[in-house]
A and B are shown apart, each in its own frame.
Chain A
Amino acid sequence: MDSRWRTIRGHAVLVLLGVLCVFPIYWLYATSLRRPGDVLSLSLLPWPLSLQNYADAAHKLDIVRLLVNTTAVALLTAVGQLLTGLLAAYAFAAWRFRFQRLLFLAFVGTWLVPFQVTMLPNYVLLFQLGLLNTLAGVVVPNLCSALGVLMLRQHLDGFPKELLEAARMDGRSSWTTLWTVVVPNLRPALAALTILLFVNAWNEYFWPAMVLQRSNAMVQLGLRSFMSAQEGTDWGPLMAVAGLACLPVFALYLVLQRHIVNAFVRSGLK
C-alpha cells in the first residue's frame, strides 16, 4: 500500500544516512581495537579484539592526565559561560533599560570577530597576567559565550513574566528571584546548554594550542602532536588516541542524547 511503501522508503533513507554518518566513527574505534598487525584489515568487525593500540598510545602520551586536564578545563569553561550568560540574559529579560539593544548587539557582534584578530593581543595580555602555559589561561578568556547569552535570553523571553511579578510583589530581590524562581524552572534548558558548552570547550583546539606551549596538556593537542609524529603515522595508536579524545563526549551523548540534540538544534534556530 502507498503508506506502507512510504514508511519503508523513509526507513531506508534514514538507515542509509545513519550508516553513512556513523561509519567513520565506528571505523575509528574498530581500527583502534584491532591487533596492531591487523590494522590494515578490511573486515567489518574487529576480531580478535586487542587493547594493544591503547597501550602503545599510553606509552607515548600521558593520556589519563590529558583527559583529566581537558575535563577540568571544559567543565570550568562551561560552568563559567553558563553563569555569565545566565546573569546577562536575566538582565535582558527582566528589565527594560537604556542601551539594551546596543548592548545586545555587542554580544552578537563577538561572533563576527575572527580568532586571528584577538589571538595576539590576548596572548600578550595572558603573558602580562602570568597565565601563559597554564590551564587557567585557557579558561579565563573564554568565560563568556555569546551563544550562551543568546540561548538563555531566548529561553527567558518565554518565561512567564507573572512569576517574576509575583516574586517582586513578595518583596524578593532580583537576585533571590533569579535563584529561587527562574533557575528551578529552567533546569532542563540549563542542563542542555551546559552540555553544549562543555562539548564545544572539549573540542576546542586553537586557543589551547596558543596558550600551552610547554606541554600538550590537553587531549586535542596531544592528538595533534600524535598526527605529526616523527616516526611516521602509526594508524592503530593514532585511532586509539582519537577515540579517547572523543570518548567522554560520546559517553555523555549516549546517556543524554536527547538533551544534547535538543540543545544543539535550539541553538541553531532563532
Chain B
Amino acid sequence: MRKTPVALALAVVLATSACGLGSTASQEAATVTRVPELRPDQQVSIVFESYNFGQAGAWTDTFNELIGKFQQAHPNIHVTAQKPQGNSPNPATDTVPSIQAQMAAGSPPDVAQLGFSDLDFTIHGLGAKPLDDLVGKDAVQANFDGAKYPYAPTARTLGDWDGKTYGVPFVFSTPVLYYNASLFTQAGLDPANPPKTWDDVQQASQAIKARTGKDGAYLDCLTKSAKDWCFQALVRSNGGHVVSTDRKSLDFADAPAVEVVKMAQNMVNTGSTPKLTQQQGYEAFARGDIGMLLETSAIQAQFIKGAKDKWDLRATTMPTFGGKPAVATNSGASLFVFSQDPAKQRAAWELIRFLTSEDAYTTIASKIGYLPLRTGLLGDPNGLQPWAAKNPLITPNVQQLAHMEPWVSFPGNSYLQIRDGMMDAVEKAVYQGADPQTALTSARDAATSLMPAGR
C-alpha cells in the first residue's frame, strides 16, 4: 500500500519534468536569407553580450559610451548590454557556456563577442549566422573597406570560414614585448637596443637579475589561463604548428613546440622567469618588478599607469628563434550574430557596423589601448595620429600586423579540452619542471581521442 503512492508521486514528477530541455528529434536549422533594411519607424530591441562588461573599469565605461552613441544615431534600435552568464572570476571563460545556456532557454543574445579560439565551435556548434548570407557579401566587404580606412588585409579574414564571413574581427592584439627601460639601464643594458632573439632575452634577464635583483622576463603565453594564442605565435615562430593545416591531427608534441617549451622551462630554471600566475605576472611588471613581459596590448593601460613617473615603459616586436622570422598571431575576439528574427538580425548588423567603424576604433584605441584594426587611422591627424604620436608603444603591434597569422581554433565539440590539455602540459613543463616531450606527448595522445572523427 505504501509503494503505490510513492510510485504515483514519482510518475507525476517524471511526467511534469519530461521533455523539459531538449528533444531527440533534430530540428531543421532555419536557412539564412537576406534580411531587409529597417524602416525608420520600426522599433527593434537587441541584446549585445560581451565579456568586457563583466569587470569594473575602463572597458565597461568605453563600451557603454559607444552604445550610447549608437542609440543616438539609431533611435529606433534599443541595445541592452550584458556580460556572459556564469560565475567564473574571469567572464571571458564563460562566453561559450553562456550562449549555450541562453540558447537552451530559447533566447540567445543578438550580437555576441567571442574569441578566435572558439571560432570553429561558434560557427559549427553555436550556429553563428553567416553575414554574407544575411546582408550580402558586398555589404560585408564594404564594412571592411570602411568610409575611409580599410581593415588591415591580415585582419579581414580572421572571422571567415570556407570563404564566408561569419564574424567581424573586433579587437585584437599581437604579442608585444614590453620592457622596463629603467631596469635595463640599471642592469647595464642598452634600452635603445632591446633583445632581438630569445637568447638575447635570456642574457638580458640574467643581467637584470644579477645586477638589480629583479626578475628578468615573464612570458604570458604558458599557462592555462593565458589560453594558447601567444603560445601559437611562439610555436609558429619556431617553424611548427599546434594543429595540422588540414585540421586532422595535432602537432603540438612535435620538435618545434617542444623546443619552445624547453626554452621557457630553461628560463624558469635559471631564475630569469619568476613562477607567477598570469595576473601576478602582469601586475608585477606594472609595479616595475620584472624587466620584460610578452603580452597583449589590451592591458597596456595598466602598464602605463604603473610606470607613470616611476619607470620608463617601452615596447618592441616579438623576439625570434635564432634566424627564423617571428610569426605573430592575434589574440582577441570577433562579433557574431545569433538572432533568428530578421529585424533583429538587421539591427545586429547595424550595431556591428557601428562598433567597427572609424569612430568606434578611435575611441577604443585611445581609451583602452587595443590595436585599431583600421590602421589608416594612425596616420589621420583627425583620427589617431596625435594619440599614436604620444603612444609609441603601439608601433611594434602595427609592425607585426603586416605579417600576422590567425589564432587557430581546435576542431570539434571538445576543442576546449584539447586546448586546455595542451596548455596544462605546457604549464606543468615550464613552471613545475615536468619533462616537455613527455608532458606534451601525453597531452596530445589524450587530446587525439577528443578530435572529431572523420572530418
A/B touching: CB–CB < 8 A: yes
Near B by CB (< 8 A), chain A positions 217-270 give 222, 224-233
What's the Cα separation between A60 and B106 when bound, in Å?
Answer: 33
Q: Is the interface of A mostly helix, strand, loop or mixed?
A: helix
Give min CB distance, B285 to chain A, whole Å. 10
Q: Identify which of A29-37, A82-90, A207-215 touches chain B.
A: A207-215
Given A123-B105, A124-B104, A214-B81, residue A230 in contact with residue B87 (CB < 8 A): no
Interface contact A232-B282, CB-CB below 8 Å: yes
Interface contact A124-B89, CB-CB below 8 Å: no
Interface contact B105-A209, CB-CB below 8 Å: no
Inside 8 A of A232's CB, which chain B residues have their CB?
279, 282-283, 286, 299, 302, 306
Inside 8 A of B141's CB, which chain A residues have their CB?
none
Cβ of A128 within 8 Å of any chain B Cβ, yes or no, is yes
Cβ of A205 within 8 Å of any chain B Cβ, yes or no, is yes
What's the Cα separation between A61 and B279 when bound, in Å?
Answer: 22
Interface string of A122-159 (1 = CB under 8 A from B): 01100110001100000000000000000000000000
Given A99-B5, A210-B85, A213-B83, residue A231 in contact with residue B305 (CB < 8 A): yes
Cβ of A19 within 8 Å of any chain B Cβ, yes or no, is no
Interface contact A227-B89, CB-CB below 8 Å: yes
Interface string of A37-80 (1 = CB under 8 A from B): 00000000000000000000000110000000000000000000
Inside 8 A of B306's CB, which chain A residues have their CB?
232
Tell me which of B17, B104, B107, B283 contacts A120 (CB under 8 A): B104
Give min CB distance, A112 to chain B, whole Å. 16
Give min CB distance, B330 to chain A, whole Å. 19
Interface contact A229-B56, CB-CB below 8 Å: yes
Interface contact A231-B105, CB-CB below 8 Å: no
What's the Cα separation between A214 and B50 when bound, in Å?
Answer: 11
Interface contact B57-A102, CB-CB below 8 Å: no
Tell me which of B5, B20, B59, B105 contacts A127 (CB under 8 A): B105
Cβ of A171 within 8 Å of any chain B Cβ, yes or no, is no
Interface contact B57-A229, CB-CB below 8 Å: yes
Given A102-B6, A229-B56, residue A124 in contact with residue B105 (CB < 8 A): yes
Q: Taking CB as reference atom, which chain A residue is nearest B83?
A: A213
Chain A interface residue count: which class?
20 to 34
Interface contact A121-B89, CB-CB below 8 Å: no
Please indicate which of the listed interface residues B5, B87, B106, B107 has the most CB atoms of chain A within 10 Å of its own CB.
B87
Inside 8 A of B33's CB, which chain A residues have their CB?
none
Cβ of A111 within 8 Å of any chain B Cβ, yes or no, is no
Cβ of B388 within 8 Å of any chain A Cβ, yes or no, is no
Give min CB distance, B37 to chain A, whole Å. 28
Give min CB distance, B103 to chain A, whole Å. 10
Number of A-B contacts (CB under 8 A): 80
Near A by CB (< 8 A), chain B positions 21-76 give 21, 52, 54-59
Inside 8 A of A214's CB, which chain B residues have their CB?
80-83
Give min CB distance, B230 to chain A, whole Å. 18
Cβ of A26 within 8 Å of any chain B Cβ, yes or no, is no
Please indicate which of the listed interface residues B98, B101, B306 has the most CB atoms of chain A within 10 Å of its own CB.
B101
Interface contact B286-A60, CB-CB below 8 Å: no
Interface contact B87-A231, CB-CB below 8 Å: no
Given A213-B85, A224-B89, A228-B89, residue A61 in contact with residue B21 (CB < 8 A): no
Cβ of B307 within 8 Å of any chain A Cβ, yes or no, is no
Inside 8 A of A229's CB, which chain B residues have their CB?
55-57
Cβ of B452 within 8 Å of any chain A Cβ, yes or no, is no
Interface contact B57-A124, CB-CB below 8 Å: no
Inside 8 A of A205's CB, which chain B residues have their CB?
87
Q: Taking CB as reference atom, which chain B residue is nearest A121?
A: B20
Give min CB distance, B450 to chain A, whole Å. 21
Interface contact A226-B87, CB-CB below 8 Å: no
Please indicate which of the listed interface residues A99, A128, A227, A232 has the most CB atoms of chain B within 10 Å of its own CB.
A232
Starting from the known contacts A123-B101, A227-B89, 10 additional A-B residue pairs (CB-CB under 8 Å) come to: A61-B56, A120-B104, A121-B20, A123-B85, A123-B104, A210-B85, A228-B91, A229-B55, A230-B57, A232-B299
A-B contact pairs, 14 of them (CB 8 A): A61-B56, A120-B21, A120-B104, A121-B17, A123-B105, A128-B105, A210-B85, A214-B83, A227-B89, A228-B55, A230-B56, A230-B59, A230-B299, A233-B283
Interface residues of B (CB under 8 A from A): 5-6, 17, 20-21, 52, 54-59, 80-87, 89-91, 98, 101-102, 104-107, 279, 282-283, 286, 299, 301-302, 305-306
Interface residues of A (CB under 8 A from B): 60-61, 99, 102, 120-121, 123-124, 127-128, 132-133, 205-206, 209-210, 213-214, 222, 224-233
8 smallest CB-CB distances across A and B, nearest first, come from: A209-B87, A127-B105, A230-B57, A60-B56, A213-B85, A214-B82, A232-B302, A213-B82
